[in-house]
C-alpha cells in the first residue's frame, strides 16, 4: 500500500484542531443572517395525556411574535417510524395526544430568541391525563396503557415474526446452564453541542445543521418543502459531537424549515440543554434475559437471549437496534448454537435511537457478563474460559449462525496483549492478598473480549480528487466529519499516493451543493469506505497523470513513475519529470493533452466495499471498591483494540480514549431515570451524571493490527470500539470485587448506594 517513506501509519497531528481551539471554527449557532427569526417549541409537561385545549391568544400578541402554531394551523404529515406500523408515526406537532414529556404541542416564531421564549411561556395547554407506562416489559403486558390504541398493542417491532425464531430445545443436553437478567440502561448522548437548525429560504433553500450526514437531512426535508433535492442545500459546519444522535432529520427540523418557507425569511432553532435531554433520541434501553449452556470444562454449547427493547414514545431507529444486537450475538466465540429473539415496545419516554455502538455494545455486554458468571460457576479463570472458546484465526472468513460474515480476527492475540500490559497474574495476587487481609478497598479485575460490525449495510461512498494548476489538490468525500479527524486522515491518503504536501490539499465535505452524494458518518465507516474512495480516486488521478506525462515527455506510459518530491516522469530520470501544477495546467489545454483526454486532472468514483468489517479487541479494567461506602474507583483501564491497519496512531488513540470514556461512563455514572408518572428525573446536567476527565485514570490504549482484505487501506472502524469493550470490562470488574461475598451480578450504573446495598445484603450482620 505504501512505500518505506509512507506517511501512512505514522502519527500526524490533526490539522483541523487549531481553528477549533482558537475559536475560528463556525458552528451553526454562530450564524445570524440578516432578518433571522427564532423558533421556540412548547413541549408537553406530561408523559401521556389528551390535549383538551391550547390557548395561543396571549402568546400571539406578545412583542416581536411573528407566528404561533399548533397542529390546527400548521398541518404537517406524520413522520413514519423505522420498520414500525403506520399507526406509530409521529406528528411533528401533537395531534390531540402527547406521549412523552418533551412532545411538541406548539411552536412560536419571533424576532428574537428572548421574545420567542417569553411568548412560549404564555401558551396555555389543558391536559386530560392518560395512564402512563415507562417500562418496556410493563408495556407488553395485558392491560398495559396503549400509546396508540388504534394499533391494539405497544409492540413496535417483533423480531420473532421477522425470522428470529425460538428453539425450545436449544439448551437440551447441557452439562451446565447459567442464567442472568441484565439491564442495559437508557442513556442520553449529551453531545457538547445540542441540536438545532438554521434555514434560509430562496431559489435554493440553504439549511445549516449540526448533522452527521447532510444528505440524510436534505432528502427527507426536500419533499416536505415541495422541492427537488437539488433545490435544498444542506451544510454541516463545525459540529460539536454527534455519537449517533445527529443522524437524519428531526421533527424540529421539519417545522423550522416549513416556517422559514412560509415567512420568507431565515429561521433558526437552537436547542437548550434541558430540551436536549428530553428531545434528542436516547440510547441503549434493553432488558436481556440470557442463558448460557456449557460443559463442565468450559466449552460453550449454546447461548440464548431474549431482548426487550425500549423504543420510547415513537418508533425510530432505536426499535430496530436489536437486529444489530442479534447480528453480533456470537461475539468472538465459536458457539454451536445462538438464539436471540427480541421485541421492541413503545413507552411514554423520549424515543430511542443510535448511540455510539448502536446495538453492538448491548451484544458484547450480555455475552461478557454471562461468560463471567459461567466462569465463576465452574471455577475457571475468566481469561481461560474465553480463550478456550475463541474462533481460531484459521477459520476466517467466518460465517456465524446470526448471518455475520467476519472478515479476519486474531482474538487471542489482543487478549494476550491486554493480559501482558495489565500484569494480570500480579493483579490476581494483589486481589487475593487484599481479601485475606480484609482490606477496606477490595480489588476487582474485569475482562471483556469483543467483536463489532463497522460499516454494516453502508458499504458505498463517493470520493473524488482533483489537482489544480497551482499544484494543490482538492479531495471531496461523502462522509461528514464531526470531530473524528477526517481532514487529517484523508489528506494523508492523498499526500501519500500523489506526493503532494498535506498543506496543499483541501478536503471538501459536509455540503450537498458541492458533494453530489454521500451516506455521512456513522457506524464507524468513514475511513474504510470514504477513505478508500479517496484512495481509489487518488490512484485514478495518478494513472491519468502518467498518461499525460507520457504524452508530454514522448515516453512510454509504462516507464512513467511518481518520483520522490511529487513529480511525475520517466523512471530513473528525475530531471525528466513534471510537477503536479504543470500536469494540471496541461490537462486544461486542449493543444497539449492527448486527443482522447477527458476533463481535468481528476478522478471520481463510488467505492463499494461489498461487506462489513469486524474490528475486535480485549479490555481489562481494574477497580477499587470501598467496602464501607460502596464507592467505586476505576484505577486502571487497559484496551487493546484491533481496527486493521492503523493509518494515524494519534487519531486512533483519540477515538479509543473517547470511546472508553463513554463506555466507562455507562458502567459507573450515567443513566436516564423516569418516575412512574413519566417525569424525567435526569433532565439536566445537575441530575444526569456525565463524568469529566477528572473521574478517569489515564487509559492504557494500544493496538494489534490484522488488516482486512475488503478495502485497499486494510482499515476497519475504530470510532465505537472503545465503547463496546470498556462497559462490560468495568461491570465485570465491579462484580469481581464483590464476588467473594457471593455477589453474582449487579446492574449499572455503579452508584455508591447501589454497590453499598449489594455489600450490605451480601454480608452477614
Q: What percent of the residues of the chain are helix, what percent strand, and what percent coil, each to the nearest 5? A: 30, 25, 45
Instruction: Give 283-309 as a DSSP string.
Output: EEEEEEEEEEEE-TTS-EEEEEEEEEE
pLDDT reported for residue 82:
82
Separation of first and last alpha carbons in the chain: 66
Q: Whose CA is closest to 134, among 350, 358, 359, 279?
A: 350
Write down the CATH number for the domain with range 17-23+456-608: 3.30.365.10
Q: Helices (H) and strands (E) in the chain — how many of each?
A: 19, 28
3-state secondary structure of 127: strand
The count of other CB atoms within 10 Å of the CB of residue 572 is 9
Nearest residue to 334 via CA among 396, 407, 242? 396
Q: What value does the mean pLDDT take over residues 304-315?
A: 97
CA distance 272 to 279: 10
pLDDT per position as a tens digit, 706-752: 999 999 999 999 999 999 999 999 999 999 999 999 999 999 999 99
**Pairing mode, if any, of strands 505-508 and 473-477?**
parallel
Whole-angstrom Cα Rg for the chain:
28
Q: In 3D, which of 273, 269, 189 has the Cα closest to residue 29? A: 269
Q: Which three cell numbers stand for residue 643?
A: 481496527
Our CA dihedral for 103, 190, 194, 154, rounded to 10 degrees, sits at -20
Residue-wise pLDDT for 264-290, tens only, equals 999 999 999 999 999 999 999 999 999
Q: Convert the pLDDT of each residue in 653-693 to its tens digit.
A: 999 999 999 999 999 999 999 999 999 999 999 999 999 99
**How far from the centroid of its chain's Cα atoms is residue 655's Cα?**
12
The three state secondary structure string of 335-384 is: CCEEEEEEEEEECCCCCECCCCCCCHHHHHHHHHHHHHHHHHHHCCCHHH
At 105, list the grid cell. Answer: 404541542
Residue 502 scores a pLDDT above 80? yes
What whole-number distance in Å separates Cα of residue 208 and Cα of residue 510?
10
Domain with CATH 3.30.365.10 in the chain: 17-23+456-608, 283-454+612-762
Q: Which three cell numbers stand for residue 374?
A: 459461567
Q: How confident is the model at residue 455 (pLDDT cuts 50, 70, 90)?
A: very high
Report phi then psi at 323, rounded to 5. Answer: -60, -40
Structure confidence at residue 3 as a pLDDT band (50, 70, 90): very low
Strand order in the sheet with 700-704: 441-451, 616-626, 632-642, 700-704
Provide mean pLDDT across the span 371-390.
98
Segment 535-554 mean pLDDT: 97
Three cell numbers written together for 680: 424525567
Helix axis angle, 424-437 relative to 411-422, nearest 10°? 50
Residue 129: is its pLDDT beyond 70? yes
Q: How far apart are CA 140 and CA 154, in angstroms?
A: 6
Tens of pLDDT along 343-369? 999 999 999 999 999 999 999 999 999
- Local structure of residue 739 (DSSP, 8 states): G
Measured CA angle at 259 (ends 258, 261), to 5 deg: 65
User: Given this model, what pLDDT does residue 2 score?
Assistant: 41
How far apart, in whole angstroms, are the C-alpha atoms of residue 250 and residue 254?
A: 7
C-beta neighbour count of 764 within 10 angstroms:
4
pLDDT, one tens digit per residue, over 549-601 is 999 999 999 999 999 989 999 999 988 899 999 999 999 999 999 999 989 99
CATH architecture of 283-454+612-762: 2-Layer Sandwich (3.30)
Give ∠ CA 123-129-134 in degrees, rounded to 5: 110
DSSP secondary structure code for residue 406 in this structure: E
For 172-206, how does the pLDDT look when each residue is reduced to its tens digit (9 = 90+)? 999 999 999 999 999 999 999 999 999 999 999 99
Look at residue 81 and tell me whether its pLDDT is greater than 90: no
- Burial of residue 241 (CB within 10 Å: 0-12, 13-18, 19+) is middle
Give me the pLDDT at residue 670, please.
Answer: 98
CA distance 96 to 105: 9
Where are the extended beta strands (E) located within 49-96? 49-55, 65-69
Instruction: Let me know: does 672 contact 185? Beta carbons within 8 Å.
Output: yes
Q: Is the pLDDT of residue 320 over 50?
A: yes
φ, ψ dihedrals at 176, nearest 5° = -135, 135
Q: Can the peptide bond before residue 764 be classed as cis, meaning omega within 30 degrees of 0?
A: no
Total length of the chain: 765
Contact between residue 605 and residue 460 where contact means Cβ atoms under 8 Å apart? no
CA distances to 190, 476, 481, 648 from 239, in Å: 13, 18, 8, 22
Task: State the Cα–Cα distance between residues 744 and 497, nearest whole angstrom.
Answer: 54
Q: What is the pLDDT of residue 764?
A: 73
3-state secondary structure of 494: helix
CB 346 within 8 A of CB 156: yes
Structure confidence at residue 391 (pLDDT): 98
Q: For residue 85, what pLDDT is reported?
A: 87
Task: Give residue 162's pLDDT.
Answer: 59
Q: State the pLDDT at residue 161.
A: 60
Per-residue pLDDT at 612 exceeds 90: yes
Q: Using one digit for the tens of pLDDT, what is the confidence trace for 30-42?
A: 999 999 999 999 9
In the numeric block, the cell 495518478 is attached to 542
Comparing CA positions, the residue from 283, 349, 282 lying closest to residue 136 is 349
pLDDT at res. 164: 60
Widest CA span in the chain: 95
Q: What is the percentage of the chain residues whose pLDDT exceeds 70?
A: 99
* Buried b / exposed e along 67-80 (16+ C-beta atoms within 10 A): bbbbbeebebeebe
Among residues of the chain, what percentage have pLDDT more than 90?
Answer: 96
Mean local confidence (pLDDT), 430-438: 98
Q: How far is CA 56 from CA 37, 127, 399, in A?
A: 19, 15, 59
Segment 326-342, tens digit of pLDDT: 999 999 999 999 999 99
Helix axes 532-553, 580-587, angle to 10 degrees: 80
Q: Count of CB atoms within 10 A of residue 410's CB?
A: 18
The dihedral formed by the CA atoms of 517, 519, 524 and 525, expressed in degrees to the nearest 10:
-50
- 37-43/267-270 β-pairing: parallel
Burial of residue 474 (number of CB atoms within 10 Å: 0-12, 13-18, 19+):
middle
Indicate if the pLDDT at residue 248 is higher than 60. Answer: yes
Integer Cα distance of 41 and 106 in angstroms: 6
Cβ-count burial of 22 within 10 angstroms (0-12 exposed, 13-18 middle, 19+ buried)? exposed
pLDDT recorded at residue 1? 40
Of residues 358, 535, 370, the one with CA closest to residue 464 = 535
Average pLDDT, the chain: 96
Amino acid at each position: 500500500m505504501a512505500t518505506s517513506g509512507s506517511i501512512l501509519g505514522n502519527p500526524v497531528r490533526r490539522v483541523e484542531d487549531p481553528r477549533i481551539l482558537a475559536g475560528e471554527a463556525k458552528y451553526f449557532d454562530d450564524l445570524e443572517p440578516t432578518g433571522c427569526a427564532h423558533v421556540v417549541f412548547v413541549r408537553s409537561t406530561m408523559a401521556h395525556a389528551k390535549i383538551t385545549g391550547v390557548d395561543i391568544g396571549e402568546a400571539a400578541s406578545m412583542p416581536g411574535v411573528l407566528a404561533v402554531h399548533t397542529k390546527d394551523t400548521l398541518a404537517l404529515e406524520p413522520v413514519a417510524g423505522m420498520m414500525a406500523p403506520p399507526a406509530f408515526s409521529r406528528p411533528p406537532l401533537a395531534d390531540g395526544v402527547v406521549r412523552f414529556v418533551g412532545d411538541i404541542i406548539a411552536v412560536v416564531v419571533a424576532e428574537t430568541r428572548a421574545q420567542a421564549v417569553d411568548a412560549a411561556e404564555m401558551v396555555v395547554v389543558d391536559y386530560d391525563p392518560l395512564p402512563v407506562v415507562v417500562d418496556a416489559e410493563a408495556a407488553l403486558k395485558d392491560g398495559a396503557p396503549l400509546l396508540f390504541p388504534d394499533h391494539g398493542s405497544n409492540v413496535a417491532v417483533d423480531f420473532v415474526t421477522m425470522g428470529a425464531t425460538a428453539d425450545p430445545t436449544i439448551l437440551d443436553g447441557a452439562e451446565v446452564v447459567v442464567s442472568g437478567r441484565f439491564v442495559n440502561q437508557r442513556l442520553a448522548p449529551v453531545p457538547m453541542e445540542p441540536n438545532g437548525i438554521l434555514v434560509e429560504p430562496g431559489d435554493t433553500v440553504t439549511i445549516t445543521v449540526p448533522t452527521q450526514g447532510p444528505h440524510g437531512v436534505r432528502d427527507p426535508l426536500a419533499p416536505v418543502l415541495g422541492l427537488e433535492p437539488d433545490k435544498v442545500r444542506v451544510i454541516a459546519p463545525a459540529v460539536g459531537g454527534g455519537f449517533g444522535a445527529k443522524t437524519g432529520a428531526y421533527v424540529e427540523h421539519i417545522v423550522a424549515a416549513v416556517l422559514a418557507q412560509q415567512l420568507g425569511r431565515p429561521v433558526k432553532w437552537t436547542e437548550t440543554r434541558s430540551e436536549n435531554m428530553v428531545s434528542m433520541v436516547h440510547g441503549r434501553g434493553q432488558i436481556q434475559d440470557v442463558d448460557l449452556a456449557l460443559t463442565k470444562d468450559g466449552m460453550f454449547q449454546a447461548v440464548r437471549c431474549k431482548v426487550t427493547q425500549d423504543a420510547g414514545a415513537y418508533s425510530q431507529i432505536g426499535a430496530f437496534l436489536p437486529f444489530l444486537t442479534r447480528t453480533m450475538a456470537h461475539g468472538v466465540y465459536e458457539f454451536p448454537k445462538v438464539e436471540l429473539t427480541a421485541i421492541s415496545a413503545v413507552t411514554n419516554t423520549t424515543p430511542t435511537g443510535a448511540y455510539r455502538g448502536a446495538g453492538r455494545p448491548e451484544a458484547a455486554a450480555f455475552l461478557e457478563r454471562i461468560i463471567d458468571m459461567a466462569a465463576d460457576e465452574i471455577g475457571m479463570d475468566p481469561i481461560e474460559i474465553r480463550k478456550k472458546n475463541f474462533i481460531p484465526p484459521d477459520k476466517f472468513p467466518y460465517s456465524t449462525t446470526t448471518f455475520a460474515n467476519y472478515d479476519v480476527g486474531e482474538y487471542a492475540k489482543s487478549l494476550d496483549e491486554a493480559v501482558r500490559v495489565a500484569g494480570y497474574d500480579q493483579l490476581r495476587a494483589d486481589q487475593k492478598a487484599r481479601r485475606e487481609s480484609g482490606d477496606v478497598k477490595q480489588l476487582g479485575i474485569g475482562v471483556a473480549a469483543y467483536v463489532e460490525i463497522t460499516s454494516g449495510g453502508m458499504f458505498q461512498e463517493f470520493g473524488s480528487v482533483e489537482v489544480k494548476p497551482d499544484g494543490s489538490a482538492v479531495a471531496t468525500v461523502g462522509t461528514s466529519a464531526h470531530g473524528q479527524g477526517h481532514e487529517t486522515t484523508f489528506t494523508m491518503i492523498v499526500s501519500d499516493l500523489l506526493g503532494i504536501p498535506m498543506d496543499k490539499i483541501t478536503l471538501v465535505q459536509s455540503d450537498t451543493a458541492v458533494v453530489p452524494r454521500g451516506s455521512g458518518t456513522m457506524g464507524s465507516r468513514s475511513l474504510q469506505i470514504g477513505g478508500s474512495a479517496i484512495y481509489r480516486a487518488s490512484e485514478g488521478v495518478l494513472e491519468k497523470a502518467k498518461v499525460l506525462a507520457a504524452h508530454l515527455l514522448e515516453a512510454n506510459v509504462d516507464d512513467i513513475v511518481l518520483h520522490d518530491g511529487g513529480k511525475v516522469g520517466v523512471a530513473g530520470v528525475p530531471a525528466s519529470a513534471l510537477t503536479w501544477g504543470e500536469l494540471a495546467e496541461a490537462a486544461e489545454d486542449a493543444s497539449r493533452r492527448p486527443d482522447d483526454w477527458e476533463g481535468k486532472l481528476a478522478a471520481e468514483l463510488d467505492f463499494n466495499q461489498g461487506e462489513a468489517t469486524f474490528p475486535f479487541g480485549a479490555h481489562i479494567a481494574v477497580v477499587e471498591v470501598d467496602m464501607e461506602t460502596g464507592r467505586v474507583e476505576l484505577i486502571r483501564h487497559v484496551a487493546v483494540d484491533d481496527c486493521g491497519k492503523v493509518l494515524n496512531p494519534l487519531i486512533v488513540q483519540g477515538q479509543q480514549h473517547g470511546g472508553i470514556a463513554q463506555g466507562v461512563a455507562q458502567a459507573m455514572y450515567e443513566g436516564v431515570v423516569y418516575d412512574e408518572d413519566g417525569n424525567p428525573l435526569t433532565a439536566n446536567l445537575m441530575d444526569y451524571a456525565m463524568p469529566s476527565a477528572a473521574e478517569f485514570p489515564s487509559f492504557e490504549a494500544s493496538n494489534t493490527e490484522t488488516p482486512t482484505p475488503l478495502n485497499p487501506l486494510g482499515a476497519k472502524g475504530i470510532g465505537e470500539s472503545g465503547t463496546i469493550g470498556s462497559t462490560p470490562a468495568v461491570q465485570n470488574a465491579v462484580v469481581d470485587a464483590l464476588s467473594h461475598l457471593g455477589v453474582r451480578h449487579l446492574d449499572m450504573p455503579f452508584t455508591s448506594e447501589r454497590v453499598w446495598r449489594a455489600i450490605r445484603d451480601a454480608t452477614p450482620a
